[in-house]
Structure 1
Amino acid sequence: MKPTKDDHAVVDLLDVILRDGVILQADVIITVADIPLVGLSLRAALAGMSTMTDYGYFEEWDAAQRQLARAPNEHPLLPDDG
């Protein structure tokens, strides 16, 4: 059986990531001459906004952006036209 090139694989992967989400986690220790100098603990969540809000991430930001989209002239930081 020969391997085939699937052009839709990237699109399918992106669809799954946006629909279901993914958590990336990395622990890194930077050393010089076997002496640990800096330790990093990194964690990132990647998903579509509907998935993020379903899990409780960015709920306040999403609500504020939706409110701004409904009434852009009522934003407190934008200058008043009148």
Structure 2
Amino acid sequence: MPDSESVQRGLAHIGVTVSRVVERPRPVQVNRNQAHLLGIATGAQATLIERTHYDADGRPVETADTLVPADRWDIEYDITLPTSGP
């Protein structure tokens, strides 16, 4: 899945300004096709991450789903917050 910065740059190239990104991780059990693609057992646990980029008007402008086998990956969010001046 492309990172948000590369999506933001790509959309800026065509005049779209991304103002926010929403990621929704949720646990799922993989179906037969997903299991085959991931090389895991049908019914195994995975995390589905649904990511949507929105423009300044709140319009969704890009979306991607990533399916991560639960027993192979840890999902970590490192969020840098803006600092306020004195």
Give the TM bin, normalised by the shorter chain: under 0.3
Q: Which has the higher contact order (CA 8 A, sep 6+)?
A: 2
TM-score of the two chains, using structure 1 as the length reference: 0.26
Give 1 or 2 for the bigger CA radius of gyration. Answer: 1
* Structure with the largest fraction of strand: 2
